[in-house]
């Protein structure tokens, strides 16, 4: 009974994903070949340790796969050392923090409203519980990074670690300025490129690997790989980082996911992948220009990547309500804090949209404009249930043109 139920729900999910326009900026669709690694029986194996230094026998193929994943990760990002075992981006960050900090040490990082991640010191996360957190914000007039303000905070608080990296920042980041600041106050620098990893490895965003102490990322966002995290660092930190991932904070690694990561890195090294990342940016521009035409207020006025942050205050609707009504029309977005938001994360003033999913599905520019118009139409007519149903039909028709996995 339960088995049938679960299998049916999984089938339903497949149909739902095909019939939904997914604008959640952290989600993407990996190649089928990567999905196939998820269910491989190599996941049955225990492989605590690292290639050539395992605590279990029978891991010769696991060793080969992980060694390839490590080599490809280093090649892709130009890094000295890679640990490909973190189960998620949060765990990658956790390993770095626990590797170099003692409890009570000071971290300087962005707050949630500026687009920082929970694992950067939010009080509900491990990162906020063990360490002394000082947050920096964006510039109040431009909603851009204010490097001088961050320099002042660094001088004042002398953090042991500075974290830079965002979940909802639509603009480029000058990591080298953060390096300068970290150098001045002698603190470690962690660059969290979870969202922009695909931009960094293709040269479409500044790559911090040559100068940052640590770089963490997720493989499932712009990299189009399996759900997971990795850590890149200088050789001098390799042992410290590896020992903190295992046995520090994780047990056995997910061998099937590591196989998927290896394939993902290989695909990201190809020329087509750079074109894909460029298309993400082009599609963002088409999207936010249509939204601006529809009188939406775009935080920072636009986007240099796949992320568009919409300030909904001029539309008299909060992010939560917008997310809910769009879901009824099979359009998925997520509610998001905007810089200096007066509302709580439960009912924030904005929504975040991203172009990863629709770019992977190869949406045409014309259809992207159509989607922006539909969003506008729905948010301007919240109570009109008939209109919402009518829009859902249109959304489903658009989706039929762009199958994800069913060809």
Ligand X SMILES: *Cc1c(COP(=O)(O)O)cnc(C)c1O
- DSSP-derived secondary structure letter, 252: S
- Reference 175, options 81, 106, 99, 77; nearest CA is 77
Q: Residue of minimal CB distance from ligand X?
A: 89
- Reference 197, options 206, 188, 210; nearest CA is 206
Closest distance between ligand X and the C-beta of residue 228, in Å? 7
Element housing 202 (H / E): none
Burial of 104 (0-12, 13-18, 19+ CB in 10 A): exposed
Closest distance between ligand X and the C-beta of residue 297, in Å? 23
Contacts of 31 (CB under 8 A, 6+ apart): 224, 263, 267
Of 259 and 307, which has the nearer Cβ to ligand X? 307
Closest distance between ligand X and the C-beta of residue 236, in Å? 24
Question: Cα separation of 27 and 154, whole Å?
Answer: 33
Closest distance between ligand X and the C-beta of residue 275, in Å? 24
Closest distance between ligand X and the C-beta of residue 241, in Å? 16
Of 88 and 294, which has the nearer Cβ to ligand X? 88
For residues 343 and 349, the answer to whether their CB atoms sit within 8 Å is: yes
Of 334 and 360, which has the nearer Cβ to ligand X? 334
Question: Cα separation of 278 and 283, whole Å?
Answer: 9
The angle subtended at Cα 283 by Cα 282 and Cα 286, nearest 5°, is 90
Location of structure tokens 């790559």: 207
Question: Cα separation of 67 and 78, whole Å?
Answer: 16
Of 212 and 372, which has the nearer Cβ to ligand X? 212
Closest distance between ligand X and the C-beta of residue 332, in Å? 16
- DSSP-derived secondary structure letter, 231: E
For residues 10 and 25, the answer to whether their CB atoms sit within 8 Å is: no
Of 111 and 367, which has the nearer Cβ to ligand X? 111
Of 135 and 313, which has the nearer Cβ to ligand X? 135
Closest distance between ligand X and the C-beta of residue 220, in Å? 7
- Longest CA–CA span in the chain (Å) reads 63
Of 323 and 334, which has the nearer Cβ to ligand X? 334
Closest distance between ligand X and the C-beta of residue 388, in Å? 30
Chain centroid to Cα 131, Å, comes to 23
Which positions lie near ligand X, rule CB under 6 A?
26, 88-90, 117, 119, 165-167, 192, 194-195, 218, 229
Of 197 and 329, which has the nearer Cβ to ligand X? 197
């Amino acid at each position: 009974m339960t088995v049938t139920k679960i299998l049916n729900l999984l089938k339903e999910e497949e149909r739902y994903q095909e019939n939904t326009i997914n604008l959640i900026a952290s989600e993407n669709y990996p190649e089928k070949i990567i999905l196939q690694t998820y269910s491989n029986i190599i996941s049955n194996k225990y492989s605590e340790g690292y290639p050539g230094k395992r605590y279990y026998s029978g891991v010769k193929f696991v060793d080969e796969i992980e060694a390839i994943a490590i080599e490809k990760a280093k090649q892709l990002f130009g890094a000295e050392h890679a640990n490909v075992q973190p189960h998620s981006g949060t765990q990658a960050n956790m390993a770095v923090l626990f590797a170099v900090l003692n409890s009570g040490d000071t971290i300087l990082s962005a707050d949630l409203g500026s687009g920082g991640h929970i694992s950067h010191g939010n009080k509900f996360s491990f990162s906020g519980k063990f360490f002394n957190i000082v947050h920096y914000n964006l510039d109040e007039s431009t909603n851009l990074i204010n490097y001088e303000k961050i320099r002042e905070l660094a001088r004042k608080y002398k953090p042991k670690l500075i974290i830079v990296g965002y979940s909802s920042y639509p603009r480029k980041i000058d990591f080298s300025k953060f390096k300068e600041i970290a150098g001045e106050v002698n603190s470690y620098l962690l660059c969290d490129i979870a969202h922009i990893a695909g931009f960094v490895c293709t040269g479409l965003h500044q790559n911090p690997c040559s100068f940052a102490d640590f770089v963490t990322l997720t493989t499932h966002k712009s990299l189009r790989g399996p759900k997971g995290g990795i850590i890149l660092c200088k050789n001098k930190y390799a042992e410290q980082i590896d020992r903190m991932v295992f046995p520090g904070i994780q047990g056995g690694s997910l061998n099937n996911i590591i196989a998927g990561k290896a394939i993902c890195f290989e695909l990201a090294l190809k020329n087509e992948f750079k074109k894909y990342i460029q298309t993400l940016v082009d599609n963002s521009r088409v999207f936010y220009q249509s939204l601006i035409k529809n009188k939406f207020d775009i935080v920072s006025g636009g986007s240099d990547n796949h992320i568009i942050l919409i300030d909904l205050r001029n539309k008299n609707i909060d992010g939560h309500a917008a997310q809910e009504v769009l879901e009824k029309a099979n359009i998925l977005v997520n509610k998001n804090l905007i810089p200096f938001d007066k509302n709580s994360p439960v009912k924030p003033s904005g929504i975040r949209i991203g172009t990863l999913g629709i770019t992977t599905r190869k949406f045409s520019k014309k259809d992207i404009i159509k989607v922006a118009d539909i969003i506008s139409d729905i948010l301007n007519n919240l109570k009109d249930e008939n209109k919402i149903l009518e829009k859902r039909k249109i959304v489903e028709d658009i989706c039929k043109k762009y199958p994800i996995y069913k060809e």
